[in-house]
Amino acid sequence: MPPYRSLLLRQRAIELMIEVYRCTSSFPNNETHQLKDRLRKAAGSVLSSIVEERERREQCPAAGIAHCALPEIEDEIHLAHQLSYLTHEQVLAVLSKTGDLLRILNSVVSGIEPQRVPLQSAAATRAS
């Protein structure tokens, strides 16, 4: 995997993890060991699998772990929204990040070069 792909995946995984932590910080105390922890663990799994793949220089075995964790995050984010733990805007912020990661992972698995988007302009696009 070319180094920039790994760095892009890692950066996007970090952004997802930060967003998940931000969103779950306001969950009720009774969710500390339930939905909140599952979301944070899944986001951590995405980042860990990408870092592990990079260190082992393997071709995509960790992508499978990330592919499994991302839909889990999306489902649990929707559940948190239905329970009124998250606003619609918070849901969209997380889903935007999971979508970015899935797109990049799919390109890595299929061998297609992902579109390179500067990190600052990507953040500015989402903010508008």
In the predicted structure, residue 13 carries a pLDDT above the cut 50: yes
Q: Specify the pTM.
A: 0.75
Residues 6 or more apart from 9 whose CB is under 8 A from it? 50, 101, 104, 105, 108
What is the percent of the chain with per-residue pLDDT over 70, rounded to a whole number?
69
- Please give the average per-residue pLDDT across 90-105, as a whole number: 92
CATH number for the domain that contains residue 26? 1.20.1440.60
Residue 35, in any domain of the structure? yes
Residue 120, in any domain of the structure? no
Residue 55, pLDDT score: 60
Q: What confidence tier does 112 reach under pLDDT thresholds 50, 70, 90?
A: low
Does residue 7 or residue 5 have the better pLDDT? 7
The alpha carbon of 14 is separated from its chain's Cα centroid by a whole number of angstroms, namely 7
Q: Check if the beta carbon of residue 10 is closer than 8 Å to that of residue 54.
A: yes
Residue 3, pLDDT score: 55
Instruction: Look up the domain containing 64 and give its range.
Output: 3-110
| CA atoms of 41 and 26, how far apart (whole Å) | 17
Domains of the chain: total: 1
Residue 115, in any domain of the structure? no
